[in-house]
């Protein structure tokens, strides 16, 4: 269930949460580390979905990115890291 967002889609939220849970379950079954922080789905037309889990919380986030408007490196190395830092601080305060 989305608790905050912009143009959120409840069905997409439920789907992406189920995918995340299944990834964790399958990683565990394959004896891989299960500390998955996020996954990316590359879509058509230069778009991608990022779904992640905020460490040590029950919160997840999702974002649709348009790589025709932002560089992937900028999004993953600057925007997402800053977002995760800010949301973690907000959750722990």
Q: What is the model's pTM?
A: 0.79
CA distances 71 to 30, 51, 55, 62, 67, Å, are 33, 18, 25, 18, 6
What pLDDT sits at residue 93? 77
Distance, CA of 33 to CA of 27 (rounded, Å) = 7
Residue 57 pLDDT: 83
3-state secondary structure of 13: helix
CA separation (Å) from 21 to 33, 52, 74? 14, 11, 27
pLDDT at 86: 87
∠ CA 45-75-48, rounded to 5°: 30
Report pLDDT for 2: 67
| Tens digits of pLDDT across the chain (93 residues) | 666 777 888 888 889 999 999 999 999 999 999 888 889 999 999 999 989 888 888 888 888 899 999 998 898 889 888 988 888 888 887
Q: What is the pLDDT of residue 27?
A: 95
């Amino acid at each position: 269930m989305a608790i905050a967002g912009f143009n959120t889609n409840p069905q997409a939220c439920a789907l992406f949460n189920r995918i995340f849970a299944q990834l964790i379950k399958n990683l565990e079954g394959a004896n891989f580390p299960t500390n998955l922080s996020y996954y990316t789905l590359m879509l058509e037309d230069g778009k991608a979905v990022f779904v992640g889990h905020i460490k040590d919380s029950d919160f997840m986030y999702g974002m649709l990115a348009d790589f025709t408007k932002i560089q992937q490196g900028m999004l993953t190395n600057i925007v997402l890291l800053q977002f995760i830092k800010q949301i973690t601080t907000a959750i722990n305060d």
